[in-house]
């Protein structure tokens, strides 16, 4: 499936220094119980999350996600929750509910407030076209969550 490694551009190098990208790499390394990623760069660890058009074409339209793909989805939302905690000083908890077919929802909850609510479809094809899009999506979810926490702080502090 994703045999060829991506060629890292100068823009990718800049994106790899972003806070969100660093955090998701840290989260993926945290769930690596067999030290598979030991000695790997962040670009190598995050490479499977980058699905260019060519890579996406290689993945069947219908399929069930494997455990590694599901762990990447979990790592993404763990990174979102971790950075929400860092920015707000409130505990954020990611909750992911997926069927075996790769459909479901991801939530991040702060207190009694749901700050991220994302419908997940075709998780076996989960990924982003570039490191920039990965970073953009993470930052977007975090900033929206922080706005919700500021607007509904009373609920977030319950």
CB neighbours of residue 88 within 10 Å: 18
124-155 pLDDT, tens digit each:
999 999 999 999 999 999 999 999 999 999 99
Helices 131-151 and 19-30: angle between axes, nearest 10 degrees = 100
Compute the distance between CA of residue 6 and CA of residue 4 in angstroms, rounded to an integer: 6
4-41 pLDDT, tens digit each:
566 677 777 889 999 999 999 999 999 998 998 999 99
Spatial contact of 106 and 95, defined as CB atoms under 8 Å apart: yes
Task: Give the chain's domains with CATH numbers.
Answer: 10-156 (1.10.3100.20)
Compute the distance between CA of residue 72 and CA of residue 60 in angstroms, rounded to an integer: 18
Structure tokens at 40: 């790997």
* Residue-level pLDDT at 75: 97
Whether 89 shows a pLDDT value over 80: the answer reads: yes
Q: What is the mean pLDDT of residues 50-75?
A: 92
What is the DSSP-derived secondary structure letter of residue 37? T
* Residue-level pLDDT at 1: 43
Task: Indicate the range of 61-75, 81-95, 140-154 predicted with least confidence.
Answer: 61-75
């Amino acid at each position: 499936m994703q045999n060829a490694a991506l060629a890292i551009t100068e823009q990718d190098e800049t994106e790899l220094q972003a806070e969100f990208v660093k955090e998701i790499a840290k989260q993926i390394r945290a769930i690596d119980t067999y030290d598979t990623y030991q000695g790997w760069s962040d670009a190598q660890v995050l490479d499977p999350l980058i699905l260019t058009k060519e890579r996406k074409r290689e993945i069947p339209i219908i399929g069930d996600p494997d455990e590694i793909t599901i762990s990447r989805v979990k790592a993404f939302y763990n990174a979102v929750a971790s950075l929400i905690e860092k920015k707000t000083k409130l505990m954020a908890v990611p909750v992911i509910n997926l069927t075996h077919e790769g459909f479901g929802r991801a939530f991040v909850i702060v207190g009694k407030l749901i700050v991220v609510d994302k419908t997940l479809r075709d998780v076996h094809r989960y990924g982003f076209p570039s490191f920039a899009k990965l970073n953009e999506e993470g930052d977007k979810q975090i900033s929206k969550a922080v706005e919700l926490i500021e607007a509904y702080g009373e609920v977030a502090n319950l």
